[in-house]
């Protein structure tokens, strides 16, 4: 392991903490698969907008790949990745080689059309100050070409790592034909408003994307025009949706955050983020530190470099603790999937 990589983890104690956390995610993935391996289909609710699972379930002792694939394929997620021409072989390639393969479809949005492939959604120079025009152009492209082909639309950066199985578990609770905006919720300045972190990634239901493009983008007084140079793309998306009645929704799982603005070695540190740090000040919910920071069904991490992309990929999908691999449904399976016991 390169010295710089080991140094980033910060010593043996931190290595063990990260290792145990990732092993926890491995176990979480397996339990998620158990949840999805059910005897009945997902059924939409008629009242509260959430999707639920029909109450008759089988207690399973083994999982079949065909059954898992069948259930996962029912939730169609288009992932679009914000990237740059200079980042394709430094960052985007690692996304393509790892988690993006589990999206139903993946698009890479840039300022140039390339053989990577990338799609040009802006025609000007790259840079942080152009993030809003680029993000808005990407949402417009996805709407124009794919709005009716998918249920959910995930925006992520080229240094974001996403555990798609856990994302599918989250969105399976909601009807994509109703407007939902899910992700890591942050406070907007000193107001009661909130927005979803762009770096941690956020997901829009099909109906939310329609409202964003068909209504918000057509109203320059309520939604920042594409011609405005602005770097706060995540705040602007939230503002456009606020003004048309689509509010951010918590993605807490088990009372803990599932989308994360930093990589595992950072968020797992017990002394990370002092009170004056922007992350602590702007977190919508009180910030938890150490292993309590994160749900065992965590969905995303930001600022993940190439080393960590492959580390997470291996430890989540390839490494298995001896004796672990098949589970009975947990006793509280009904409450986990949102049904009364």
How confident is the model over 269-285, as pLDDT tens digits? 888 888 888 888 888 88
Neighbour-count burial of 113, counting CB atoms closer than 10 A to its CB (0-12 exposed, 13-18 middle, 19+ buried) = exposed
Report the DSSP pairing between strands 42-44 and 51-53: antiparallel
Does residue 159 contact residue 98 with C-beta atoms inside 8 Å?
no
Instruction: Reduce the secondary structure of 55-69 to three states and give it as a string.
Output: CCCCCCCCCCHHHHH
Q: Note the pTM of the prediction, 2 decimals.
A: 0.77
* Range of 60-74, 90-104, 221-235, 323-337 with top mean pLDDT: 90-104
Residue 61: which pLDDT band, with cuts at 50, 70 and 90? Answer: very low
**DSSP structure string for 290-317:** GGGGB-TT--EESS--HHHHHHHHHHHH
Helices (H), the chain: 3-9, 12-36, 65-72, 93-97, 131-146, 164-171, 206-210, 233-242, 264-267, 278-282, 306-317, 333-336
* Range of 16-20, 54-58, 156-160, 291-295 with top mean pLDDT: 156-160
Q: For 224-242, what is each residue's pLDDT tens digit?
A: 888 777 778 899 999 999 9
Report the DSSP pairing between strands 248-250 and 181-183: parallel
Q: For 151-185, what is each residue's pLDDT tens digit?
A: 999 999 999 999 998 899 889 889 999 999 999 99
Name the helix (H) or strand (E) containing 183.
strand 181-183
Residue 107 has pLDDT above 60, yes or no: yes
21 is written with which tokens?
């956390």
List of residues 6+ apart from 109 with CB closer than 8 A: 80, 81, 82, 83, 118, 119, 121, 134, 137, 138, 141
Query: C-alpha angle with apex 81: 76 to 83, nearest 5 degrees?
Result: 170
- The mean predicted confidence, pLDDT, of the chain is 79
Instruction: Return the pLDDT at 6.
Output: 38
């Amino acid at each position: 392991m390169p010295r710089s990589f080991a140094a980033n983890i910060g010593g043996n104690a931190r290595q063990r903490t990260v290792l145990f956390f990732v092993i926890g995610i491995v176990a979480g993935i397996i339990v998620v698969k158990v949840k999805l391996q059910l005897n009945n289909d997902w059924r939409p609710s008629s009242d509260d907008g959430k999707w639920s699972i029909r109450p008759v379930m089988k207690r399973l002792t083994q999982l079949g790949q065909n059954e898992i694939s069948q259930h996962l394929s029912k939730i169609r997620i288009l992932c679009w990745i914000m990237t740059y021409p200079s980042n394709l072989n430094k960052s985007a390639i690692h996304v393509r080689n790892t988690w993006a393969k589990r999206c139903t479809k993946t698009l890479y949005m840039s300022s140039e059309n390339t053989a990577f492939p990338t799609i040009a959604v802006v025609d000007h120079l790259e840079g942080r100050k152009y993030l809003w025009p680029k993000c808005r152009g990407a949402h417009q492209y996805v709407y124009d070409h794919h709005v009716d082909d998918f249920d959910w639309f995930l925006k992520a950066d080229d240094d974001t790592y996403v555990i798609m199985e856990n994302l599918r578990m989250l969105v399976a609770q909601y009807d994509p034909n109703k407007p939902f905006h899910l992700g890591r919720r942050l406070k907007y300045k000193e107001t009661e408003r909130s927005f979803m972190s762009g770096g941690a990634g956020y997901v829009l239901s099909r109906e939310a994307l329609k409202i964003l493009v068909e209504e918000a983008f057509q109203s320059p007084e309520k939604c920042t025009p594409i011609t405005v140079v602005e770097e706060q793309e995540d705040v602007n998306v939230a503002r456009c949706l606020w003004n048309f009645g689509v509010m951010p929704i918590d993605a807490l799982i088990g009372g803990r955050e599932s989308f994360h603005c930093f990589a595992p070695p950072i968020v797992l540190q017990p002394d990370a983020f002092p009170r004056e740090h922007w992350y602590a000040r702007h977190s919508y919910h009180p910030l938890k530190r150490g292993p309590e920071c994160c749900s065992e069904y965590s969905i995303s991490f930001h600022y993940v470099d190439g080393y960590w992309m492959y580390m997470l990929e291996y430890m989540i999908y390839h490494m298995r603790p001896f004796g672990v691999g098949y589970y009975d449904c947990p006793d509280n399976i009904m409450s986990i999937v949102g049904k009364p016991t």
